[in-house]
Amino acid sequence: MSNIEEIIYKHTLINAVKHKGKANNGAVMGSLMATHAELRSESKKIAQITSKILIKVNLMDYELQKSELQKLGGIKEKKPVKEKGLVDLPDVKGKVVLRFAPNPSGPLHIGHARAAVLNNEYVKRYGGKLILRIEDTDPRRVDPKAYQMIEEDLKWLGVKWQEKHIQSSRIETYYEYAEKLIEIGKAYICTCKGADFKVLKDESKPCPCRELSVKHNRKLWDRMKTMDEGEAVLRVKTDIQHKNPAIRDWVAMRVVNDKHPLTGDKYKIYPMMNFSVAVDDHLMGVTHVLRGKDHLANSEKQKYLYNHFGWDIPVFIHYGRLKMEDVALSTSKARQGIDEGLYRGWDDPRLGTIRAIARRGIKQKAITELMMEIGPKISDATVSWKKVYGLNRTILEEISNR
């Protein structure tokens, strides 16, 4: 009998002994899943084994069930696993597809660790896959060294991804969907000056470009490829009277004059984050999106795209801000400090990067436990170093006791 079979056998016996010799399938499965979180990702397989074992146990007479259970240590049950703060994901239908999608503007910091760890833990809990997606469609916010640093940081965090995509290599895909959107009349090229558009938008008035024909927009789209930054943008039609002005006909594509560190000057038109994110989440089959609540308006913007294309909207989960006592979390501030010689590098212990935390002697497991405890709750959280060192001490003791 394998280890798993023995666990199931014992749970079935306990249930049978409690219920006059007849174990109940649902009750046995429930007790298994509650006490052995590691089995949840294989619940189908576990259910098959359980039904076989159940038949066998229910054919035994009551005395035999009791003596078999004694051999396995009696009725003492393991306490249900308490997953500190890590609540179940809503609306899970079978396996999940999750993604961790950082900008390659620097190495990961503690805020990223939350998204990475939670996505990773949920994939472990429900089965499915984790996608690592590098969102590098703003050529000015790319640090070529960050691609590798991100992977190193994720490995340190114990996060495993099953698929990796780099958005700058998917530009043609974004063009394809931009063209589709133009064809169905749900997007238009706007050649207004930014300031002029803003005046109209703030008054809930459409700009003159909004009413132009699909044919005209097709031509403009071709011309946009040779235009200069600021001359034209592609806008998604939303509700020009939406209560939040930021959502009114948001920009999907723009021209950027700068060269991209990976693709050079191959492309001039780049998708804005909301466009590439929604297209990718759909094409990659993402079921649940975990993101900070500062993205609430972005989720709202993206819903327009899903509706225009007739796509199913993934489940969006917005969590609160995470602050870390006494550290600079902003990548741009950290970079500036490094450039000015204030910090000695990305692993300077005064920073909130993963490598700085590692350098302080914090173990990966302490960070994972911390993130599971905080979970994806919507309220803001401030983490103190006292807390982190406390968790770390427990882990170091566990290691030395072994």
Least distance between Zn ion and beta carbon 265 (Å): 27
Least distance between Zn ion and beta carbon 239 (Å): 17
Q: Which is nearer to Zn ion, 115 or 234 (CB)?
A: 234
Q: Which is nearer to Zn ion, 17 or 209 (CB)?
A: 209
Q: Which of 159, 187, 192, 371 binds Zn ion (CB under 5 A)?
A: 192
Q: Which of 7, 146, 190, 334 binds Zn ion (CB under 5 A)?
A: 190
Of 147-155, 204-212, 248-256, 339-347: span binding Zn ion (CB under 5 A):
204-212
Of 199-207, 212-220, 289-297, 357-365: span binding Zn ion (CB under 5 A):
199-207
Of 48-56, 92-100, 206-214, 279-287: span binding Zn ion (CB under 5 A):
206-214
187-190 sheet: strands from edge to edge: 187-190, 233-236, 251-255, 269-271
User: What's the CA gap between 243 and 62, in Å, rounded?
Assistant: 68
Q: Tell me the site size for Zn ion, rule CB under 5 A.
A: 4
Least distance between Zn ion and beta carbon 332 (Å): 31
Q: Which is nearer to Zn ion, 159 or 190 (CB)?
A: 190
Least distance between Zn ion and beta carbon 375 (Å): 43
Least distance between Zn ion and beta carbon 139 (Å): 24
Least distance between Zn ion and beta carbon 302 (Å): 22
Least distance between Zn ion and beta carbon 272 (Å): 16
Q: Which is nearer to Zn ion, 187 or 192 (CB)?
A: 192
Least distance between Zn ion and beta carbon 283 (Å): 29
Q: Which is nearer to Zn ion, 206 or 292 (CB)?
A: 206
- 232 is a contact residue toward Zn ion (CB under 5 A): no
Long-range contacts of 56-63 (CB under 8 A, 24+ apart): 57/9, 57/12, 57/13, 57/16, 57/23, 58/16, 58/21, 58/22, 58/23, 60/16, 60/21, 61/21, 62/16, 62/17, 62/20, 62/21
Of 184-192, 236-244, 246-254, 274-282: span binding Zn ion (CB under 5 A):
184-192
Residue bearing tokens 């225009």: 308
- 123 is a contact residue toward Zn ion (CB under 5 A): no
Of 3-11, 191-199, 352-360, 361-369: span binding Zn ion (CB under 5 A):
191-199
- 207 is a contact residue toward Zn ion (CB under 5 A): yes
Q: Which of 209, 305, 322, 374 binds Zn ion (CB under 5 A)?
A: 209
Least distance between Zn ion and beta carbon 193 (Å): 9
Of 182-190, 239-247, 297-305, 321-329: span binding Zn ion (CB under 5 A):
182-190
Q: Which residues bind Zn ion (CB under 5 A)?
A: 190, 192, 207, 209
